[in-house]
Amino acid sequence: MDRRKRVFIGDLTRKEFRQGIESGTIQAAIVPTAATEQHLEHLEMIHDTASVTYMAEQAALRLHPQVVVATTIPIGVSEHWMAHKGTLTVRPEIFTEYVYDVCDALKRAGVTNILILNGHGGNVKPMMARMDEYRAKLGVNVRFNSYWDVYDVTHAALMETKRLPGHADEYETSMALALFPERVHAEDIDDPAVRLATREKGLALIEPAVAGVAEILRKMIAGEPVDLIPSTFRDGERRSMV
Ligand SMILES: [Zn+2]
């Protein structure tokens, strides 16, 4: 018998999923949303997808078997990077409706708490513009946060650039060095600020992110309020989406 802790819905049989819902064991689902887009010259374009999938899996494992993870949506709203060939993008209305349909499928299966866990800055504004509508239509406890929303000023202080999050910079490069160093093409780093990235900084920022996402889920399952305001970033600036 396979005794791995499996949290991805795609790794479960329909019997396992059905029994988890019918027994009340499965209490929440994560829908990871990401991107396939340029990450400067040195990071692979899968970065956001690989990062958010990792965060979702690790957070769900901490609450196993209460939390399952939908297949990551790997292409997001990246129109702003289309000048860099290789970036893949979908229109905001297509992206948000696709995310909605995945959430609706989970709701129809009996999932009552859904966390859309985002890993790409360009998805934040389009999703936040629709969340009130989607929450009303779905009629279940659904919220949207990026995994970096759980960071505070103490985490930002770990960055010499003080930029957290940031696109392909000290933060994302540090995370990549910690999570999947084979995806960092260090010889192609052309910005001195990016060279400040280290594996140690990444390792220091993984645990608070996983713990923070797990805490969001715990609160959702317990029916407690979550007051993390989704934020986005462009050009290195973190902006709150109130
Ligand atoms: Zn990124």
Q: Give the pLDDT of residue 120.
A: 96
d(CA 20, CA 178) in angstroms, rounded, equals: 33
Q: Give the pLDDT of residue 166.
A: 85
**Distance between Cα 30 and ligand 1 center (Å):** 19
d(CA 178, CA 185) in angstroms, rounded, equals: 14
- 81's CB contacts (< 8 A; 6+ apart) are 37, 38, 87, 89, 122
**Distance between Cα 79 and ligand 1 center (Å):** 14
**Distance between Cα 4 and ligand 1 center (Å):** 30
Please report, for the chain, the start and end positions of each structural domain, with discontinuous segments joined by +. Answer: 9-223
Is residue 106 a contact partner of residue 31, using CB atoms and an 8 Å limit? yes
**pLDDT tens across the length of the chain (242 residues):** 556 899 999 999 999 999 999 999 999 999 999 999 999 999 999 999 999 999 999 999 999 999 999 999 999 999 999 999 999 999 999 999 999 999 999 999 999 999 999 999 999 999 999 999 999 999 999 999 999 999 988 998 999 988 888 889 999 999 999 999 999 999 999 999 999 999 999 999 999 999 999 999 999 999 999 989 888 654 444 554 43
Q: Give the pLDDT of residue 234.
A: 45
**Distance between Cα 40 and ligand 1 center (Å):** 10
Q: Assign 3-state DSSP to the chain and report helix, strand, coil percentages, each to 5.
A: 50, 15, 35
The architecture of the domain spanning 9-223 is 3-Layer(aba) Sandwich (3.40)
- Give which of 112, 98, 237, 101 is closest to 166, Cα–Cα: 237
**Distance between Cα 68 and ligand 1 center (Å):** 24
Q: Extract the tokens encoding 41.
A: 């010259």
Strand partners, 69: 8, 30
Q: Computed from CA positions of residues 178, 147, 27, 96, in that sequence, does the dihedral angle turn out positive or negative? A: negative
CB-based burial of residue 147 (10 Å sphere; 0-12 exposed, 13-18 middle, 19+ buried)?
A: buried
d(CA 41, CA 173) in angstroms, rounded, equals: 11
**Distance between Cα 121 and ligand 1 center (Å):** 8
Q: Give the pLDDT of residue 178.
A: 98
**Distance between Cα 172 and ligand 1 center (Å):** 6
Q: Give the pLDDT of residue 231.
A: 80
Work out the angle at residue 10's Cα, subtended by the Cα atoms of residues 6 and 15, and round it to the nearest 5 degrees.
80
pTM metric for this prediction: 0.94
**Distance between Cα 34 and ligand 1 center (Å):** 9
**Distance between Cα 20 and ligand 1 center (Å):** 34
What's the full length of the chain, in residues? Answer: 242
**Distance between Cα 66 and ligand 1 center (Å):** 29
Q: Give the pLDDT of residue 102.
A: 98
d(CA 113, CA 122) in angstroms, rounded, equals: 24
Is residue 117 a contact partner of residue 146, using CB atoms and an 8 Å limit? yes
**Distance between Cα 169 and ligand 1 center (Å):** 9
Q: Please report, as a single letter, which amino acid is at residue 163.
A: R
**Distance between Cα 222 and ligand 1 center (Å):** 31
Q: What is the DSSP letter of 167?
A: S
Q: What is the DSSP letter of 72?
A: P
- DSSP result, 110-144: T--EEEEEE--GGGHHHHHHHHHHHHHHH-SEEEE
Q: Give the pLDDT of residue 230.
A: 86
Q: Give the pLDDT of residue 236.
A: 44
pLDDT digits (tens, 9 = 90+) for 100-137: 999 999 999 999 999 999 999 999 999 999 999 999 99
**Distance between Cα 21 and ligand 1 center (Å):** 34
What values do phi and psi take at 115, rounded to 5?
A: -105, 115
**Distance between Cα 151 and ligand 1 center (Å):** 16
